[in-house]
Structure 1
Amino acid sequence: MSSLRPWRHIERRKSRQIMVGNVPVGGDAPITVQTMTNTLTSDARATIDQIRRCEEAGVDIIRVSCPDVESTTALREIVRAANVPIVADIHFHYRRALEAADAGAACLRINPGNIGSSERVAEVVRAAKANGCAIRIGVNAGSLEKDLLEKYGEPCPEALVESALDHIRLLEDHDFHEYKVAVKASDVFLAVAAYQELASQVDCPLHLGITEAGGLIGGTVKSSIGLGMLLWSGIGDTIRVSLSAEPEEEVRVGYHLLKALGIRNRGVRVISCPSCARQGFDVIRTVEKLEERLQHIRTPMSLSVLGCVVNGPGEARETDIGVTGGGNGKHMVYLSGVTDHHVADEGMVDHIVRLVEAKAAEIEAAGAAAEPVAAE
């Protein structure tokens, strides 16, 4: 971080690190992006196809629901096919947890207090240890324990935190410490307050989410407010943006959120104006096409698309590639902040895509050349 920009600094909460498969969560590991499949897990082929789309979008960890034995049976094939760790979502059937652990799940999403006796908890812990599984405790305001609702009268931060601590205690009583915790709510204020309080009491990694956030637009706004507040204050080790949208959209929104905070950079960060009567080309349509065409780029880089010369040159000087609207259908292209050439309306999108792809290849080549060569 530049000493001249202290306002950009985010000091992350110090948490201990656990492993979810081969992905570290917590500590100084990058904040990971998760999603969840919505196919029938028993349909291994459909689930694997959906996982592939999420992998292309950059997902780090992906969760699948395992409500029945048909799902845990298919899980073995799904785990073998996936290139990212798989979390098995378990609710009340502890045997599904045992089956999922044996099938190769990297993590079990289970609340130990919901599965019955201490011996059942012990069985799940033994299976997790034997198979190298982590566990995610997932407290949700919509499914709080009856005694907590009676005690507090309604879902509140204190109730969510107490529930989480009760579940943590059950795992630690069996000497299990490879866990992370979520205290989700659809109410932004409730979720944020619960996470803030829990963060002050435990050192385990925290899985962030605003649950049942809504559709693509509304849910993105709601999640960005809640998760943004927490991440900005340094809280959170892994995130899921819960949307009524396809899982790969959750992944894309998650990365956009992290990019906006400067926490993780993946792919092209587009800076574009809202457009007005001064625009020299159709900014809205151009940005829509570019975002669609550039989804395959993983190399972090910036692209500015500005409709006129009011703010265009200033923004373009700060990005890897920029285009500013001009007169007579000719627009200025900037490379590394310097004016370079003009491009006409016709073929402009294709031209910018080629420039971005070339720049990405250049950045990747420079990175590969900078890597130390191992001694033979």
Structure 2
Amino acid sequence: MKTKEVKIGNVVIGGGRPILIQSMTNTDTKDVRGTVAQIRALEEAGCEIIRCAVPDAESAAALKKIKDSISIPLVADIHFDAQAAIAAIENGADKIRINPGNIGGKEKIAAVVNAAKAAHIPIRVGANAGSLSRDILQKHDGPTAGALIESVLENIRTLERMKFDDIVVSIKSSNVSVCVEAYREIAKLVDYPLHLGVTEAGTYHMAVIKSAIAMGALILDGIGDTLRVSVTGDPVQEVYAARDILKSCGARKSGVEIISCPTCGRCTIDIEKIADSIERFTQNIKMPLKIAVMGCAVNGPGEAREADIGIAGGRGEGLLFAHGEIIKKVDEFDILPELRRMILELAKERNEER
């Protein structure tokens, strides 16, 4: 679904553009050196928009130094403090994330909106199950999709009444079905870019499962302009997960996709070890490649014909192949180094062709 275009720093979202990956630092924003180091690691992993918590004036002031040291748009995450929001804008934030309902009265909201107007930066508004007012919760008998939608529309209308429409919307829940229902409905009601996410999704294993189900369903519906996989832990893992979700939904044709068989009694070499090693080895390769790691000739070159390169295991050896055609047979101990060499060569060739 095509949404309006919104500029965030040096990128534009919406308007049918590719979905961009967002993450959030978990450092103390006042720790400029530590925050910059984390953002650079996130950039290397493929993060395209970064958000930092701004709970006070000191954190807002740190944004200027942080922004000067990174190359992706910087979003300030604000709760409760209108002055922190204004200070974040003054210190170069490319977008601010607020909940107008918890910023204060109309005058404080207007002050933030006027600062954003003057700086020509967007505001992300939205709702999650934890931010709903008591009245809305009672009306809808809990944090339902309808409750989230009503809250989001209230926030949007508040800004629109102030003649502000440079808006990005999020509507999150930790419940996958509620999340999907809410995004599908809000996509019919507004044309603002939508930031996708399952809030409070948990540690890596469960966060990836919940996010893949929810975001996969929405992306296949044509919904979404940015996304974040919320993980309790290292935010770099959020970016890797987001990249994999986009690749699996066909929304991002970059990076490495690994095809590997589930193994069976025919497998006589350690395919799991090889697949894990290749996955780690290729994490930061940005060129689109498809690599197959197959356990035997039955599920080898023929079944993985669409792979750019691959390996089919045998007894103490492996067949290296490209697009289903066998290249050579190698000893089991040479499989990994040979496969790595081929991957680097192909990535270099693809890069030179661009």
Q: Does the alignment reach a TM-score above 0.5?
A: yes
Aligned to 1:72: 60
Give, in angstroms, the shift of residue 280 of structure 1.
Answer: 3.4
1:352 aligns with 2:339: yes
Aligned to 2:284: 296
1:287 aligns with 2:275: yes
Give, in angstroms, the shift of residue 335 of structure 1.
Answer: 2.1
2: distance between equivalents of 1:151 and 1:183?
A: 18
2: distance between equivalents of 1:296 and 1:180?
A: 29
Aligned to 1:247: 235
Aligned to 1:6: none
Give the counterpart of 1:91 among 79, 85, 90. 79
Q: 1:122-180 CA distances to partner (integer Å, 9 max, x unpaired)? A: 21112112222111113111221122113222111111111111110111111111111
Aligned to 2:318: 331
Aligned to 1:51: 39
1:25 aligns with 2:16: no
Give the counterpart of 2:327 among 340, 352, 359. 340
Query: For the aligned residues, what is the CA RMSD?
Result: 1.2
Is 1:255–1:265's contact at 8 Å kept on the other side of the alignment? no
Give the counterpart of 1:81 among 61, 69, 74. 69
What is the aligned-residue identity percentage? 45
Q: 1:214-258 CA distances to partner (integer Å, 9 max, x unpaired)? A: 111111111111111111111111110111121110000001001
1: distance between equivalents of 2:159 and 2:36?
A: 31
Is 2:296–2:313's contact at 8 Å kept on the other side of the alignment? yes
Gaps spanning 5+ residues in structure 1: where? Answer: 1-12, 368-376
Aligned to 1:365: 352
> For 2:7, what is the secondary structure of its paired residue?
strand
1:258 aligns with 2:233: no
Give the counterpart of 1:184 among 161, 168, 172. 172
Give the counterpart of 1:278 among 249, 252, 266. 266
Aligned to 1:3: none
Gaps spanning 5+ residues in structure 2: where? Answer: none
Aligned to 1:142: 130
Aligned to 1:238: 226
Q: 1:24-59 CA distances to partner (integer Å, 9 max, x unpaired)? A: 111121101111110111111111111011001100
1: distance between equivalents of 2:302 and 2:38?
A: 41
1: distance between equivalents of 2:146 and 2:187?
A: 13
2: distance between equivalents of 1:308 and 1:79?
A: 50
Is 2:126–2:155's contact at 8 Å kept on the other side of the alignment? no
Give, in angstroms, the shift of residue 184 of structure 1.
Answer: 0.3
Aligned to 2:141: 153
Aligned to 1:197: 185
Is 2:81–2:103's contact at 8 Å kept on the other side of the alignment? yes
Is 1:191–1:210's contact at 8 Å kept on the other side of the alignment? yes
Is 1:87–1:106's contact at 8 Å kept on the other side of the alignment? yes
2: distance between equivalents of 1:166 and 1:112?
A: 9
Give, in angstroms, the shift of residue 92 of structure 1.
Answer: 0.8
Identify the range of structure 1 (30-39 vs 147-156) with the bigger mean alpha-carbon deviation: 147-156
Give, in angstroms, the shift of residue 314 of structure 1.
Answer: 2.1
Is 2:301–2:325's contact at 8 Å kept on the other side of the alignment? no
1: distance between equivalents of 2:157 and 2:102?
A: 13
Q: 1:92-144 CA distances to partner (integer Å, 9 max, x unpaired)? A: 10111101111111110001222122222221112112222111113111221
Is 1:79–1:104's contact at 8 Å kept on the other side of the alignment? yes
**Where in structure 1 do 4 or more consecutive aligned residues deviate above 4 Å?**
none
> For 2:164, what is the secondary structure of its paired residue?
coil
Is 1:302–1:319's contact at 8 Å kept on the other side of the alignment? yes
2: distance between equivalents of 1:286 and 1:125?
A: 53
- The amino acid of 2:42's aligned partner reads C
2: distance between equivalents of 1:110 and 1:208?
A: 16
Give, in angstroms, the shift of residue 351 of structure 1.
Answer: 1.4
Aligned to 2:151: 163
Identify the range of structure 1 (250-259 vs 152-161) with the bigger mean alpha-carbon deviation: 152-161
Is 2:240–2:283's contact at 8 Å kept on the other side of the alignment? no
Give, in angstroms, the shift of residue 349 of structure 1.
Answer: 1.2
TM-score for the superposition, normalised by structure 1: 0.92
> For 2:333, what is the secondary structure of its paired residue?
coil
TM-score for the superposition, normalised by structure 2: 0.97
